Structure 1
Amino acid sequence: MDRIRSSAPGRALLTGLLATLFAGYWLALPGAADARAEDPVELSRDGQITDRVGALGDRTDAVEDALDRLYAQQRLQLFVVYVRDFSGRSGQTWSDETANRNGLGQDDVLLSVATHDRQYAYSVDAGSELTDGQLSEVASTAIEPALRENDWAGAAIGAADGYAAVLAGRPVTAPAITPGPADPGTGASGPSSGAGDFILPVVVAGGAGALAAFAYTRRKRRSATRTTPAATGWGRGAEGDDAPVPLEELDARAKQVLVD
């Protein structure tokens, strides 16, 4: 009898713990959404640069000059955005959704850089005059070498000058490298640690599946990239491998993680 009586408080404790965890799961969702309100980001209304992590520092003017040169020469607008990470989404999905949210069109290109996760992607309208070959050439010659050395401004400048070059029929040249901080904005721009840090990737991934279908109807999936700080540097990955997981499965996974 003692064992039977002692098991009841144990079950009650377990039930209470699970109830608390599930309550925390649902209560944390609004906070997690607020922490990642930049996903997908709303681009700055003050220009073509959106820097959420302070990656450019005192080189913002140099990047603006390069973007202005590109527009003056080719009437092409390059928008650049720097964030800490892509909130669990692939770089291509995040970039396409951001481009669509901000109404970017045929004569616009979006370059997205996640400084902490060391990922980048570019989103180009299906009707753009830039070909896949030209985009790949600019990425490998003018963008990735700068990113490998944490030259955040150099990547944007290289992209702008590279696009101007290929559209004019000139060869793309590698940018002069000026190394910067490896992880700008650490501890300032990211969300504070807590329950939301564990829940957020699951919640965001569910939303990505629904939004990606709309994004891909207007933007080409071109050269998504996924890298780490290892020797391979900022290499390009294969496309088409980021199919969304059903919402029901994501919800089940989230609950199981919390129970564990």
Structure 2
Amino acid sequence: MAVPRRLSGIALTLVVAALTAAGCADRAPQAQAVPEVGWLVADHSCAPDRVRAQADALVRTGLRDVGFRELFIDCHDEDRARIDADSGVRADLASLGLHMHPLPSAQRRTAVDAAAATPSGLRTAVTRRVMRAEPLVVTGDLPAVPRGTVEMLRNPEIGELVRDRRAAPGAEVNGDPETYSRAIGERGLLVSFTNTGPVGRDMSIPIADLGLADDDVVLAREVWSGRRIKAEDGELTIRVGAGDAALLRIG
């Protein structure tokens, strides 16, 4: 998104400086691995036909085209050896532009269950991974995942943000666990709100807390909905449903 006319490069430089002071200093990009985006086969036997079915579904739903190109398998040792020995499976996946990997234990613990998550729960889980610069691994029987869930995951911007080469996690703003900020790219900024309460409410952040000048015209776009928001009275404000999250992109 183009930087608003009056939102100067100096202001966004202040953003990066503020985030560095808050404890999310940008480490050397070349020293960090870009987080992965992938799908976990929800079948511990990892039968070849099951793996192929999930791969076909990634293509058919368009998820492959927005970045879900890694197909993770979580098999028992003997089953993993069997599927690793089946060169036909790897060749079939490669022909679809997909790659198959064993699943690291850390990603197994944080995989998002697309079949079980509510829309608000999915937005919250994925937003959290974006803001923490963590891998996004989704699991579930993809052909049975609700269409609305697939549409949310098909947002091309989500995969882009997960794989941002800056790979520096964000931090709480002013110690508020419901509000995070994260620098992305060379001049961009993300802000997330997570409403952990039982009812929907307006959530705000003073733009001065983001290192932006109070008199700047600050424009943001909510990534999930595409809604555009303009700062008013020195604050960015958005309505967030109960148990839901909003992800704002500035710059």
Question: TM tier, shorter chain?
Answer: under 0.3
TM-score, with normalisation over the residues of structure 2?
A: 0.24
TM-score, with normalisation over the residues of structure 1?
A: 0.24
Higher strand share: 2
Query: Could you say which structure has the larger radius of gyration?
Result: 1
